[in-house]
Amino acid sequence: MSTQGQGDARRRYRMVRRLQQSEATAERLLDAAWRRFATLPYESVRLSDIAADADVSVQTLHTRFGTKEDLFTTAFRKWMVEQGRSRQTARVGDLEDVIRVLYDNYDDQGEIGLRMIAQEDRIAAIRQDTDAGRRWQRRWVAETFEPFLANSAGPKARADLHDALIVACDIYTWRLLRLEMGHATADARRIVIGMISALVGTLPTTR
């Protein structure tokens, strides 16, 4: 290889290395940010603490993500994408599998979701993304329960069933059953499967 070729290869290596380091720094910042946003009130989260957790300067944080609101939005949306991937593993039309996936997700991440919702009336950035989450949930219910919705007797019946399924699958239904009533996960799932079975006119299968 010529001297020029070696120099070009070294420059490419350095560029790739810098990009990898930049991406790793961004991931550390997002992880550090979410650990704090997910456990503390929004107002109590300090950028200096996040930067220290990620072992970078506050200036590096600002350069990479901008304001506290910008950082929160990026971290929150990353979290929502991860939750969406988890939900998408549910088998469409398989009631037991859908509720298993849903309640596994709620048991793992539901309290964080509730914490975000509790702050949405005072923090505009949170409200923007919790509203986006509600829209996503409506679409997920429509897609996941499409085999049942397709059997509806007309548009009004379909819309009513869709709304009823949203209520049955809502995070507050999970909170009521699991956190307030104290049902074990298996019992909470069984209750919700029974509710939905009554709505769609089918009986749940047992395994």
Q: Are residues 92 and 143 in the same domain?
A: yes
Q: Are residues 91 and 22 in the same domain?
A: no
- The list of the chain residues with pLDDT below 70 reads 1-22, 202-207
pLDDT for position 58: 92
The answer to whether position 205 is within a domain reads: no
pLDDT for position 33: 94
Q: Are residues 23 and 103 in the same domain?
A: no
pLDDT for position 25: 84
Q: Which of 13, 36, 66 is a domain's end point?
A: 66
Q: Are residues 60 and 77 in the same domain?
A: no
The answer to whether position 52 is within a domain reads: yes
pLDDT for position 203: 42
| Angle (deg, nearest 10), helices 3-37 and 68-87 | 90
Q: Are residues 118 and 36 in the same domain?
A: no
Instruction: Tell me the CATH number at 138.
Output: 1.10.357
Cα–Cα nearest to 28, from 59, 48, 52, 62: 52
The answer to whether position 84 is within a domain reads: yes
pLDDT for position 153: 84
Token couple for 136: 């996503």
Q: Are residues 86 and 109 in the same domain?
A: yes
Domain count of the fold of the chain? 2
* Distance separating alpha carbons of residues 184 and 58, to the nearest angstrom: 44
pTM as predicted:
0.82
